[in-house]
Amino acid sequence: NAGVTQTPKFQVLKTGQSMTLQCAQDMNHNSMYWYRQDPGMGLRLIYYSASEGTTDKGEVPNGYNVSRLNKREFSLRLESAAPSQTSVYFCASSFLLSNEQFFGPGTRLTVL
Amino acid sequence: SQQGEEDPQALSIQEGENATMNCSYKTSINNLQWYRQNSGRGLVHLILIRSNEREKHSGRLRVTLDTSKKSSSLLITASRAADTASYFCATSYGKLTFGQGTILTVHP
């Protein structure tokens, strides 16, 4: 089992460009999450999907959109990237919302 | 906010010593979880303690939870250089809310 996979691992964008971060899990989990991690800030929840077909905003949703494509896949889209979105992005999944979460390896995004 | 706050922010010890990290939070929780993050990697779940539990063990890890004080502690006994990492507590009332973490350095 691969667990949680994320693509790409690294990305450099120019201000105003768009991109989609992909996440997939093979553990048959119901819930999936997108976090960003900035130095000294811990992890902040961007969006989450409690179950297939539902998505909800987290703590810092502005500038992002998500799609729960199916039970396995949860993508994060930046429509018009800004330097403030430079961060490391982590996808995670869990069987239910309160359960332990399994994290992907992260995507390091730089917006110039 | 029910965000967990870890203390200390950084901890430096020698191999073989015990490491204790504390977490405080503000609101009711279903459970509290501890995670570890090695530099440049994703987080790895260590242990989950439910709100009706007071203590839990897993190998060299011991977690306590005091819901009356809204605090938890993570004890790593007989630390090893490989324990060097950042440790995060996360409180759950539905989705998780992470604290800012404790950076643990274990010197050989």
**Omega before residue A8 within 30° of 0, cis:** yes
Which of B29, B43, B46 has the highest number of chain A CBs within 10 A, making it the mutation to test binding with A? B43
Contacts of B48 in chain A (CB under 8 A): 99-100
Mean pLDDT over the full length of chain A: 95
Residue the block writes with tokens 């990492």: B85
What is the pLDDT averaged over residues A70-91? Answer: 97
Task: Give pLDDT tens digits for A7-24.
Answer: 999 999 999 999 999 999
Task: Assign A84 to helix, strand or coil.
Answer: helix
Q: Which helix (H) or strand (E) holds A2?
A: none
**Percent of chain B scoring above 70 in pLDDT:** 97
A84 is written with which tokens? 């403030």
B3 band by pLDDT with thresholds 50, 70 and 90: low
Residues of chain A positioned with their CB less than 8 A from the CB of B97: 45, 59
Q: Look at residue A75 and tell me whether its pLDDT is greater than 80.
A: yes
For chain A, the C-alpha Rg in angstroms (whole number) is: 13
SS3 B38: coil
Distance CA A102, CA B7 (A): 24
**Are the beta carbons of B44 and A42 separated by less than 8 Å?**
no
